[in-house]
Homo-oligomer: A and B are copies of this chain.
Amino acid sequence: MKPNRKDREADIGSEPRTLDDDPVVQGILKAISHKRLKPGTKLGEDALAKVFATTRIHIRQVLAHLVSRHIVTHFPNRGAFIYRPTIREARDIFSARRMLEAATVSAVVDNLTDDVRHLLKMHIARESGHDRNDRWASLALTADFHILIAELANNTVLLDFAKELMLRTSLAIATFEVPGSPDCSPDAHPGIADMILAGDKAGALAAMHKHLDEIEQRLNLDGAARDPDDIVAIFQDIGIAPLNRGAA
């Protein structure tokens, strides 16, 4: 008696389908991590369907998927918008990253095979060799470093979490960055990589922790809950103070 296919999943045959590989999903995620799509912008169904040349139903599925990934918010009868994290969430994201990336770095140091060394050196070489002025290439490469660490930790669950955290970090940065500051100090990555390669676990952990702190401190998370569209605050950020017209 072989397993009945009525209520038992298939052993062979067509592969399961996930929306993670979908070109529309990847396009939107790429646009977010490249800062082309900013938090709060509306993702109209018809507009997306036209851009990606697919049906509205497909777009609907994609948006639902992004909603459950915390990348998009859905307001009934109003549509989907790129998610805008709260200050609390932004802090939680960085806190979670400090915790999770400490664990991944630790796992990588404990698992220093030749392949791991090779991949790490390869990435650092790519980072140092790329065009510093190409802002978009820089963004992609700096994110890839953290993803690579998670991959080298050899744990699919942690890798999934890391990818989600990188995306949500992009949203947090795009929401709370003070204009004109760089994203990720690229010089920190070679230092972290060197300590990992040297087997210095404590040093690597400290360097990663400091690196994440630097990124977070470049944001405006000072509790003063302000609207990211607040014109006054935006001009204050670039050094233009409002005039006190009409004050006593």
Contacts and interface: CB of A to CB of B under 8 A. Distances in A.
A73 B9 contact: yes
Interface residues of A, number: 53
Contact of A9 (B75, B93, B100): B75
Most chain B beta carbons < 10 A, residue from A15, A75, A78, A96: A96
A158 interface: yes
B6 A42 contact: yes
Contact of A158 (B19, B73, B99, B231): B99
Contacts of A75: 9-10, 13-17
A95 B155 contact: yes
B96 A161 contact: yes
Nearest to A69: B68
Nearest to A66: B68
Contacts of A245: none
A129 interface: no
What 7 A-B pairs have minimum CB-CB distances, sorted nearest first?
A99-B103, A9-B81, A96-B157, A16-B73, A92-B157, A68-B68, A92-B155
A96 B229 contact: no
Nearest to A158: B96
Nearest to A99: B103
Contacts of A100: 99-100, 103
